[in-house]
Amino acid sequence: MEVIEKRSMPLLGDDFPEMTVQTTHGVIKLPEFFKGKWFVLFSHPADFTPVCTTEFVAFQKRYDKFKALNCELIGLSVDQVFSHIKWEEWIKEKLGVEIQFPIIADTGAVAEKLGLIHPGKGTNTVRAVFVVDGKGKIRIILYYPQELGRNIDEILRTVEGMQISDKYDVAMPANWPNNEIIKDNVIVPPAKDVQTAKERLVNAKKGEFECFDWWLCHKKLKK
């Protein structure tokens, strides 16, 4: 009989697991270190590799945009801290970009806990992204293969979109804020009962929002 190996890894809506990690900024405790802030933890296969280098430059160039969303960045790979530091020095010297966010020097324990090593893709960490909110809840998990660099603007979009969803109780359409149908409008959650469905169409006639039908309504976001 085939034995199926069970792996324990965090899922959407879970609390981010508590851990103490060594980083380029010293020893920190997660998620406590970022309490009250959102943070993006992203893993990369290895230091001094071409795709990872372009990703770190891209993250750093958008760091201020993340911070404007009350969101911090923290990188991770199974490398020694001195390797991270030397790589940062190389990026600054050769590319003129100073990496300002911490990078975790993992022994493999964090990668195991977060499910960052996929046997089918070798022994290095995959390109994973965890978006964690200010309460320490995991809101988004993304995985990319080693061959494909991440779109950092998309990660920014996901952080902003989730924050807006939380604040206004709305949903984001495909390619928001440049949706092909409703442009930068946001989606009103579908009615959950008959009465609300009827009221939805009445309210649409009053101009509160626009509806293609009672289950597909959208509106301008009033920030």
212: alpha, beta or left? (left if phi > 0; alpha if psi -120 to 50): alpha
Identify the top-confidence range among 40-44, 77-81, 144-148: 40-44
Identify the top-confidence range among 104-108, 115-119, 159-163, 198-202: 159-163
The owner of tokens 């924050």 is 163
What is the SS3 assignment for 169?
Answer: coil
pLDDT at 108 over 90: no
The more confident residue out of 222 and 85 is: 85
Lowest pLDDT segment from 3-7, 189-193, 207-211: 3-7
Check if 52 is active-site: yes
Kindly indicate the confidence band of residue 152, based on its pLDDT and cuts at 50, 70 and 90: very high
150: nearest Cα among 89, 95, 70, 73:
73
Binding residues: 127
Q: What is the mean pLDDT of the chain?
A: 92
pLDDT of residue 37: 98
- The mean pLDDT value for 166-189 works out to 96
Identify the top-confidence range among 56-70, 103-117, 199-213: 56-70
> How far apart, in whole angstroms, are the C-alpha atoms of residue 156 and residue 67?
10
Cis previous bond, 189, omega within 30: no
Q: Which residues of 20-55 are buried (b: 16+ CB within 10 A; e: fewer)?
A: ebbbbeeebebbebbeeebbbbbbbbebeeebbbeb
pLDDT of residue 94: 98
Q: What whole-number percentage of the chain has pLDDT above 70?
A: 94
Token pair for 24:
């380029």
What domains does the chain contain, in order, with CATH numbers?
19-150 (3.40.30.10), 169-223 (3.30.1020.10)
Kindly indicate the confidence band of residue 158, based on its pLDDT and cuts at 50, 70 and 90: very high
Binding residues for substrate: 127
Q: Catalytic residue, from 52, 71, 211, 217: name it.
A: 52
